[in-house]
Chains A and B, each alone.
Chain A
Amino acid sequence: MLIVVATLLAPVYAKHVAGTDPFRSGLSAKIKIDGKPTPVMQQSTEGLGLGVTPIGPTWGPQYMLGADGQGRDVAARMLYGGRNSLLIAGASTLICLFCAAIIGIAAGYSGGMVDGVLSNLIDMIWAFPVYLLAISLSIVMIGKSFALGPFEISSGSLIVPILIIGLVYVPYVARPIRGRVMAINQSEFVMAARGLGIRRWKILLRHILPNVSTTLIVFAPMLMALNIVTESSLSFLSVGVQPPNASWGTILQDGQTLLYSRPWVSLAPGLAIMVTVLLLNLFGDVLRDVLDPKSARGR
């Protein structure tokens, strides 16, 4: 349990444990290993001996996992990148749940025209492959800074991937929520409330919302896990988090060119993603068992 918390929180206290500035490139930097100063970028000994290869894992406080192609400390970038990854995944989860809840409840509770329009829109976006949509949106949005209402959003801002990842999964969450709202709306106790002459908005507020909220809560960890993978995929395709900012996905992208010579640059963020997603999914299972015992009876 302690390990779980430490792993999830590590990126939050990144600043205090990271030894080296993760964003300054250190092509000419040197560190001391066994008392000897060693350059971070080493002359390549393979092949023709041309070019440089970043230092491998030192397992010391500095450059614990080695350096990347620009001589930056991978371990330190892992921590800062992790913070961004979790921030993006978390924030986009909240955005997604919020939008999906509003759309799902609006469609499910009002029915009729509103439902018809919203449902058809959802179906249409559903037919648009998620990755294509996300990549398309990213490419359009990361090019330039633009204004979103009163806020000026710069091209490198984390808000861009947060918004994109938050929005692309809305149909996938809104559809089941709509179904749930419709089911609750047809349920005996809502019928009973209508028969008792309770006002419409009060039925929504006191009878439907509390019963939908479990569905939303159960969705949260699974969605966040999905968002972490999505973020890393987008960043890997260089349409997610923009340099010099880091995330686990961007480190993976940096590591792509160093895959055969310095595999740790790719290995570390991949493992981090796996562990985080695994934990989130496990947590999601537990949450579902506790909040929704009916679906857990098969376990």
Chain B
Amino acid sequence: MLAAILSRLLRMVVVMFGISVITFLIFFATPSSDPAARIAGKNAAQETIEAVRKDFGLDRPLYVQYGLMMQRLFISQDLTSFANRGQKIIPTVMAAAPATLSLVSGAAVLWMLGGILTGITAAAFRGRWPDKILMGLSMMAVAMPVFWVGEMVNLVTQNRLHDTWAFSWVPALGYTPFSQDPGLWFRSMVFPWLTLAFLYIGLYGRMLRTGIIETYQEDFIRTARAKGLTGRKVLLKHATRSAIIPIVIMFGMDFGVLVGGAAVLTEVVFGINGVGRLTYQALKVLDLPMIMATVLYASFFVVIANAVVDLLCLLIDPRMRRA
């Protein structure tokens, strides 16, 4: 068992190492990218570029640069930004993390509740109007780009209807830490949560509905009905319980990816200074140390989510426990 855990951990480290190498290569070894030229700015003189190259250590062999960066990131932990010289990377990322975590966890609660409710309701009313309405809405939710939904929400709540009774309580865009003012934190997060959750409610609702309806074809559902169980018990206890397993798996992956920074679009639209936005800004100015740190941060959560999902599956599905 210990060997199993160790080997699993090793695999996780290998994946993260691979990702760091891919990231590094994308920015240092693709033919068109010369980080020194980027940092020096457009139309910089050749001498300036050379000076920058030397200054940032970009003239050394690639593996040395990579090793140095990793050493400063993980061991001495004093890696600093290329763009804002002197800005330490690790504290910056850590400062951005709570905002993303607030956004994603709040939305996750909403979308799990909403998605499961949508899926079960639609499956229960299969083919009738509640099903049709819910599925229509879900399809729309999946079809709309999340940042556009955010913009439209802002248009209504921040501008057009902001001065009416309905939305006057919505604070201006931006993130207020929970420790500073819990009330304001909550009010500022309501619409970002709803916006982000909307898409996933659509996705999960559709998937759960299909899963439940497929489960109804199974022999064990027939057994449950032949036992004389009520329709509600068959639906909730027997059909939903099996159909929800893939949803849990998907939830783990989505949650990990989002906490790692994939909520970038929502963060940008709502002006939340989270990890996603930090990554995006670092990418825009080609702040390599920051990119490296944030990408590794993101992949860390993906890898963790993967492991947690595997563990969860063992817990909820006894069939996986064999052997």
Contacts and interface: CB of A to CB of B under 8 A. Distances in A.
The reply to whether A and B meet directly (CB within 8 Å) is: yes
Interface of A: 123-125, 127-132, 135-137, 139-141, 143-147, 225, 229, 232-233, 236-237, 239, 252, 255-256, 259-260, 263, 266-267, 270, 273-275, 277-278, 281-282, 297-299
Contact of A129 (B18, B31, B260): B260
Contacts of B268: 237
Contacts of B280: 135, 237
A278 B31 contact: no
Interface stretch (B56-64, B96-104, B140-148, B176-184): B140-148
A270 B145 CA distance: 7
A127 B306 contact: yes
30 contacts: A123-B15, A124-B22, A127-B19, A128-B22, A129-B299, A131-B262, A135-B279, A137-B26, A139-B284, A140-B26, A140-B27, A141-B32, A146-B32, A229-B143, A236-B265, A237-B264, A239-B284, A252-B151, A256-B151, A259-B154, A259-B155, A263-B155, A266-B151, A266-B152, A270-B145, A270-B151, A270-B152, A273-B148, A274-B148, A298-B214
Contacts of A278: 139-140, 143
A145 to B, nearest CB: 8
Contacts of A282: 139
Contacts of B84: none
Contact of A274 (B140, B260, B261): B140
B18 A141 contact: no
Given A129-B260, A129-B298, A124 B30 contact: no
A266 B284 CA distance: 23
B89 interface: no
Contacts of B244: none
Contacts of A144: 32-33
Contact of B264 (A127, A128, A131, A252): A131
A231 to B, nearest CB: 10
**10 nearest A-B pairs in the assembled complex, by CB-CB distance:** A277-B143, A270-B148, A298-B213, A146-B32, A260-B159, A298-B214, A278-B143, A144-B32, A124-B18, A127-B302
Contacts of B286: 139
A208 to B, nearest CB: 26
A112 to B, nearest CB: 20
B264 to A, nearest CB: 6
How large, as a class, is the contact surface on chain B? Answer: 35 or more
Interface of B: 15-16, 18-19, 22-23, 26-27, 30-33, 38, 139-140, 142-148, 151-152, 154-155, 158-160, 210, 213-214, 216-217, 257, 260-262, 264-265, 268, 279-280, 283-284, 286, 291, 294-295, 298-299, 302-303, 306
A232 B145 contact: yes
A188 to B, nearest CB: 22
Nearest to B27: A140
A127 B300 CA distance: 9
Nearest to A255: B151
A41 B112 CA distance: 47
Contact of B279 (A132, A252, A281): A132
Nearest to A278: B143
A127 B15 contact: yes
B261 A281 contact: no
Contacts of B19: 124, 127-128
A259 B15 contact: no
B32 A140 contact: yes
Contact of B38 (A130, A131, A143, A270): A143
B302 A129 contact: yes
Contacts of A131: 262, 264-265
Nearest to A237: B280
B143 A281 contact: yes
B127 to A, nearest CB: 9
B26 A128 contact: no
Nearest to B38: A143
Nearest to A128: B19
Contacts of A123: 15
A88 to B, nearest CB: 14
A229 B148 CA distance: 10
Contacts of A260: 155, 158-160
A182 to B, nearest CB: 20
B212 to A, nearest CB: 9
B302 A233 contact: no
A298 B210 contact: yes
Contact of A132 (B142, B144, B151, B298): B298
